[in-house]
Amino acid sequence: MTIPNISRRAFLRTTGLVAGTTALAACAVPGAAPAGGDTMASEPKTIEFVSGWGSAVEPFREIAQLDSFKALAGEDTEFNVRPVGLEDLAAALAAGDTPDGGSNIDYPGLWARGIVIDCNDYVNGSDIIDPSGVLEPVWNAAVYGSNLIGVPSVEGFMWYGMNYNAKHVEEVGLDVDDLPLTWEAVMEWHVELSKFDEGGNVIRMGFDPVDAMAAEPDFISHSFGHAWWNDEEQTFHFDHELMALGIETQAEFFRHIGPDNFAGLRSVEGQGRWGGSYYAEVQSIIMDGYWHCGETVSEKPELAPFNRSAWPPVPAFREGAKIQATGAHMIQIFKEANNPDGMFNFAEIMHTNEPMNIIFDSVGWIMGVKSFISTIDPDTYPGLRFYLESVDEVTDWIIGRRCPIHWYMYTQVNELREQVYRDFMTAEEAVAEMQKRAEAEWEAQGLS
Amino acid sequence: MGGAGTFVVARWRPVQQHPVAGFLLPCQGDFMAASAQKVSRYTPGEWRNLRLGLLFVSPWVVGFVVFTIYPLLASLYYSLTRYDLLRPPVFLGIKNYTTLFFDDPHFWNVMGNTIYYVGVSVPLGVGSAFIIANMLNSRVVARTFFRGIIYIPSIVPAVASAMVWDFLMNVQWGAINGLLRFFGLPVIPFLSNPAWSKPSLILVAVWANGAAVVIFLASLQDVPRALYEAATVDGANIWHRFRNVTIPITSPIILFNLIMGLIVAFQEFTIPWLLTQGGPMNSTEFYLVHLYRNAFAYLRMGKASALAWILLFIIVVFTILVFRSSARWVYYGGDK
């Protein structure tokens, strides 16, 4: 066999031709199919879904395998779900790699920026979704004006509760039959439950005011009978004496622990994340939602039997108020979605008992569908009974996380609260600064 | 004009007057003139070579244009817009810049943090690296072992380093505070107190400065022995030799490490992000941490781009200042 001689010019010409052809092929429209309706019809349909909460990804995959879903969306439907952070999602949207829908994402933020569609027409045409069968505040969490910014489908029940470690409470001789219902009483428990070593280093804190739902601006303002965000007028009301009082009240909890001790405790790997210090048993009281009961079972099964739940506190001047919040983890459908119908099919199937049970069994989340709630065994998870049985006793409801810059203000409130409990500014100065920052951000984001 | 040749020679003539040396360089001038004349008379073979050359460098050129020039220009444009990735950019002019300078509640605090960090960590890092390199250049026991030990931190992944330092410096269960507590001493809130957080991060940065030590070591080994011997004969003691021989000869390397240190310190991100995420009380909110937060937590790409351009400007200014000052203290042998 002889190797043919090839000149440099011929070699370059050939490689250039190959490279050019390859580049042209790469530039071709992806998925372009040859002409012919039959070929197009036989292509599998794909649903691209993103979840802002990683733990929900596996249950979503399981639901997509259900026969009922395949019957609704088509046997050949392929369902892809991946966990995302805000930056991943934003980058994907900017790059044109738009998923069909998402959950556990910044719902009002995406709606305010015109990224997702109004789902009213889809829901009105559905034989499966019955809005009247969903708890009213849960459904309303997705209603902005006359628009439905997503389909409440994944989760929506009671978001606030004072969850406590009964073992710790009993250890220090506190009476579990005399639960603290005011901030003043919670402070007493905080003092009793917090433990220090001989050097003054904290071993355990009674209550961490920036963990879980306690960190949210909604929680502290609602507890003190105030609303920092007016949904109808789209205005901010941080600069208010009740907000300042709430921030100052929380600051006292930090001061008892010591700001440096507190920061040190949270900086231990895992203890700074949502609920991490409670599961590590270095926090005895956590303000969290009903899901905390199921999550405790999955995060730390040996702790779960000691988990109890009760009403979240209010200040003494509001004693007797039973506050609660809800919202909806919904499925939002993106404007640029390739398969919005398939995405809606997935939202629809989430309103049937089988998927709701999968979600509840795997991550402890409850979708606020009345018929489903009535099927839940209140003793499934320790502490859950309180939430299921107290829903009719709520005196003050709010829908949480309504503001399109909620998550931005969440960071600002935490930052300014730290300046208060480290005594670098007063609570009054902090809430005035919150107001200023909220208005500046609203304008800077082009939302005014 | 007498044709291309005349024109080219005439054009190149001023170059023959060396701007610094102040005298004519006839050989250089002739060569340039000849080269320039050739440009206008490429033979077919030379044209082919030029095309081939361009073809071979084209992957780099394309990569440079697509991955460096385009993002650079795009970020300049975005810095003049409001852009959140979700909606098309809206042109704002220089508003992002004026907002940062006059209305941003964090910007000047971030600048202060960064200048503090750069101002302390860079001289400390360069100085300690220089001293350690000198120690390792002397005849100490187990010199090779120590050289390895000193270099290891600079090749440990930043995430691993951060985990180790987090374990060491935690106020509750940190190993260092455990020791202090054992001896009945007060604990140090390294990462949880605003007064301690920056010095603690500077400590981590200086610890991981092994690369500078290696560069200094290489330069120290190039210092001619004859200079030390001559200095010794002239009665110089160890300090005199260090002061008058070692430092001048290695001063170009000190300059190099200083400038590289400045550039790296201004862009410090990984360790502060992993250890403190800008806290406590924004005391470690360094420039790049703030930039990252604006870009990826708040989706303010326009503002983040403006921050990036301001940072570029700051680094260029500092680099120029250091270069300017180098005329006074850097020794380039006979080429000064």
DSSP-assigned letter for residue A118: -
Q: Would the CB atoms of A199 and B187 count as touching at under 8 Å?
A: yes
Residue A4 maps to a domain: no
Residue A411 maps to a domain: yes
Q: Would the CB atoms of B85 and A433 count as touching at under 8 Å?
A: no
Instruction: Look at A11 and B44; give whichever has higher pLDDT.
Output: B44
Q: Which of residues 63-92 of A touch B (CB under 8 A)?
A: 86-87, 90-91
CATH code for B99-335?
1.10.3720.10
Residue A34 maps to a domain: no
The model's pLDDT over A334-376, given as tens digits with 9 standing for 90+, comes to 999 999 999 999 999 999 999 999 999 988 899 999 999 999 9
The model's pLDDT over B170-189, given as tens digits with 9 standing for 90+, comes to 887 889 998 998 888 888 99
The model's pLDDT over B237-263, given as tens digits with 9 standing for 90+, comes to 999 999 999 999 999 999 999 999 999
Same domain for A416 and A339? no
Same domain for A435 and A421? yes
The model's pLDDT over A84-131, given as tens digits with 9 standing for 90+, comes to 998 899 999 999 999 999 999 999 999 999 999 999 999 999 999 999
Same domain for A196 and A112? no
ipTM above 0.85, yes or no: no
What integer pLDDT is reported at residue B41 of this predicted model? 75
Residue A37 maps to a domain: no
Enclosing domain of residue A431: 164-326+398-444
Share the mean pLDDT of chain A: 90
Residue A287 maps to a domain: yes
Residue numbers in A near B282 (CB within 8 A): 415
Question: How many folded domains does chain A comprise?
Answer: 2
The model's pLDDT over B10-52, given as tens digits with 9 standing for 90+, comes to 333 333 344 433 333 444 444 445 555 555 678 999 999 999 9
The model's pLDDT over A386-410, given as tens digits with 9 standing for 90+, comes to 999 998 899 999 999 999 999 999 9
Q: Would the CB atoms of B298 and A260 count as touching at under 8 Å?
A: no
- State whether residue A283 sits within 8 Å of chain B by CB: no
Q: Where in chain B is the domain with CATH 1.10.3720.10?
A: 99-335
- State whether residue A19 sits within 8 Å of chain B by CB: no
Same domain for A225 and A90? no
The model's pLDDT over A197-221, given as tens digits with 9 standing for 90+, comes to 887 888 999 999 999 999 999 999 9
Same domain for A178 and A92? no
Domain final residue, candidates A373, A408, A431:
A373
Q: Would the CB atoms of B172 and A422 count as touching at under 8 Å?
A: no
- Among chain B residues, CA nearest to A418: B281
CATH of residue A409: 3.40.190.10
Which residues of chain B, if any, have pLDDT below 70? 1-40, 334-336
Same domain for A339 and A262? no
Q: Would the CB atoms of B192 and A262 count as touching at under 8 Å?
A: yes
Residue A184 maps to a domain: yes
